[in-house]
Structure 1
């Protein structure tokens, strides 16, 4: 018997209810990943753009000679070096973030807050680069820059370990162990750089050149 409030045949109504239930079941629980990715992409792009402000335009008289301009630009080499170093390290972090998120089937509130903490330290990189650019020979400037990168690296590692604990957030079949190895490279290199700075090495940040080499020799697929 069809009641006055029934919009269609009983079988059709049941099929629609089953379809709605199936579509809702196909939506993963938690928060949508695309919102987090959009925020992260924007902050990484903004931080990488701000890095260029760490480079100072040489000041001088208008009728300055070419030789003097070259001399002033040579004086900017430490700033260019740290700009390039920070830019490519942030690019590496952004790629790592993309890879991590691609391995996730869902995210939750805790993962979001860890990610937000990571992004907070990402926004500090332009400041720490400016600091080491202005004081390239000072111990505190080098350590501030290296501690900044250490914090980002450690939070990336914490984020990955949280997501992979009991496969909490990752897709089935994800190579968890290889991911754990890769996320510890930057923290390990940062510790080496800090120790070199404490030992009195002026260019302790050169230790970050080890990152591609270490990544290349890690076991697993490339």
Structure 2
């Protein structure tokens, strides 16, 4: 990533969006959705690594936002402490996709235990919701888009850090690029979006995990990422 530019244009907000650190359910390949699980020891170290990097390279951060799910808010507080930001604003709208009846299941057994929910989760129909209170892709995409645009509207001319989840990041990529990203969204990857006052989106950095290079934390970062 190097050093981000010191200044952000007056009519643009720069949002440094980071996926949370590895969790106990990531490590055991269990589907989380909006259920709670804690950061592993590796997940805490990943969060500390990305926090150190942002403290050195991302200057003039105005605020830190986070999903209110524990794995994201814990990652956010580690980052906020490192960059000297006193508060983390938690937002329900930054949560992971709700996976309905799939939440808590081992990924390998999901298609056997909840076949209808599993089928809905990988459906090509963007309006098909997952049985058990789960979201459709369109619901996820609209929620994620509106969350980031609301943050941007309040921080034009500023840089903010946002901690969220794999499926949310995929949705944000679609809004910025018009297609699905390839590969997994790694834990504590850095992704930089710019949103203008007129809600024009651009993506200047995607999937950067240079802060994990040369450590076993890089291997751990490949786990999870929901249904992908």
TM-score by length of 2: 0.28
Larger-gyration structure (1/2): 1
Name the structure, 1 or 2, with higher relative contact order (CA <8 Å, separation 6+): 2
Q: Between Structure 1 and Structure 2, which shows a larger proportion of strand residues?
A: 2
TM-score by length of 1: 0.28
